[in-house]
Amino acid sequence: MRSSTRMLALMLALGVAACAPTSETGSGRHSGRAGSRGSIRAARVLVVAPSDESSGGAAAPAAQARVREDEPYRGLGTWIDIYDHQVWRHPTRSVRSMAEHGIRTVYVQTSNYNRNQPFVHREEVEAILDAAKEQGLEVVAWYLPGFADVRTDLRRTMRSIHLRTDAGNAFDSFALDIESPEVRRPSVRTRRLLRLSETIRREAGAEYPLGAIVASPHRLIRTDPYFWPGFPWRRLADLYDVMLPMTYYTYQVNGPADAAWYTAQNVQIIRKETAGMNVPIHVVGGISFDATGPETEMFVRTVEQKHAIGASYYTFPGITLDQWKALRALR
């Protein structure tokens, strides 16, 4: 551990803050995606859904062929969570700063399972969407489900996918943050995750780009195998277009060499667990508040060597000038 900010960041990601009730409203439909400006190698492959139930859980969806839609996940991204008050106070100015730093995609948290509304900062979310489109940026909505109330998790997901601003702008994609231990039994958690994911795919449509934000594969497979045994890698790889491992090497290691090793391990584990499926990977690194410039340089070099389609640091307000200097290579 490098500092107490790591534990704080983890608590923020898991959504432990108290909430204020409000109504769940939203409207509109997806309005299309901006063109590509990224230089990192992209993946666009044909996917055939499996007919067996090799990973357990809910029944697999009907077999169908579809093309992976990974456009919003290419290149350099940055993250905003519901606690980044600096961004929420100045959404338009923050987006302009992101564009100046070479960001291609903004990942915006809409809510989490602890909140009583689908959008914690509804007006600011719309302001970010409109500002991002003016700057030519992609925007991906992300939500942290608890799997205790799958209907609510689904409803909030679809509100994000269907959101349209007064200017007619919509999210380019949606990504599900898969990490909550709110449901304590892993087998139950897996069944609910797959049921939710299959319904999201069905409701969103085969061509709508979806991302699966997964906990550190190294943690799931090696350091904490009891956290989520039987994690359904292949089923998720079929339902989602891109996997986004929360590598977060700053929780585990120190120094550039170890940052590179840990990042590589996470990419390699996903490729092993989904062998033959050609799953595009966008690597989430950081935590930005704890990472150093030299560690970031090695993170970027590893991402490129492992042919990930993109990468990002969590979250935007913590990224330093040294980190930006290294991250710009991912544009």
CATH of the domain at 192: 3.20.20.80
Residue 7 CB-density burial (10 A; 0-12 exposed, 13-18 middle, 19+ buried): exposed
Q: Which portions of the chain are predicted below pLDDT 70? A: 1-66
Task: Give the total residue count for the chain.
Answer: 331
Q: Look up residue 44 and give its amino acid.
A: R
> Is residue 46 situated within a structural domain?
no
Strands 210-214 and 105-112: unpaired
> Is residue 263 situated within a structural domain?
yes
Distances (CA, A) of 13 to 97, 213, 221: 23, 12, 21
> Is residue 224 situated within a structural domain?
yes
- Determine contact, residues 285/1, Cβ cutoff 8 Å: no
Residue 29 CB-density burial (10 A; 0-12 exposed, 13-18 middle, 19+ buried): exposed
- Determine contact, residues 313/327, Cβ cutoff 8 Å: yes
> Is residue 34 situated within a structural domain?
no
Burial 186-197 (b: 16+ CB within 10 A, else e): beebbbbbbbbb
* Joined tokens for residue 318: 């913590």
Q: In this predicted structure, what is the pLDDT of residue 311?
A: 98
> Is residue 49 situated within a structural domain?
no
- CA atoms of 162 and 290, how far apart (whole Å): 35
Q: What are phi and psi of 146, to 5 degrees?
A: -100, -15
**310: helix, coil or strand?**
strand
Q: In this predicted structure, what is the pLDDT of residue 331?
A: 82
- CA atoms of 69 and 63, how far apart (whole Å): 18
> Is residue 75 situated within a structural domain?
yes
Q: List the helix and strand counts (H, then E) for the chain.
A: 11, 10
Nearest to 278 by CA among 288, 270, 287, 286: 270
Strands 65-67 and 46-48: antiparallel
Q: In this predicted structure, what is the pLDDT of residue 158?
A: 98
> Is residue 305 situated within a structural domain?
yes
Q: How many domains does the chain have?
A: 1
Show the domain range for 307: 5-14+67-330
Cβ neighbors of 221 (< 8 A, separation 6 or more) are: 269, 273
- CA atoms of 303 and 284, how far apart (whole Å): 10
> Is residue 61 situated within a structural domain?
no
Give 248-276 pLDDT, tens digit per residue. 999 999 999 999 999 999 999 999 999 99
- CA atoms of 117 and 115, how far apart (whole Å): 6
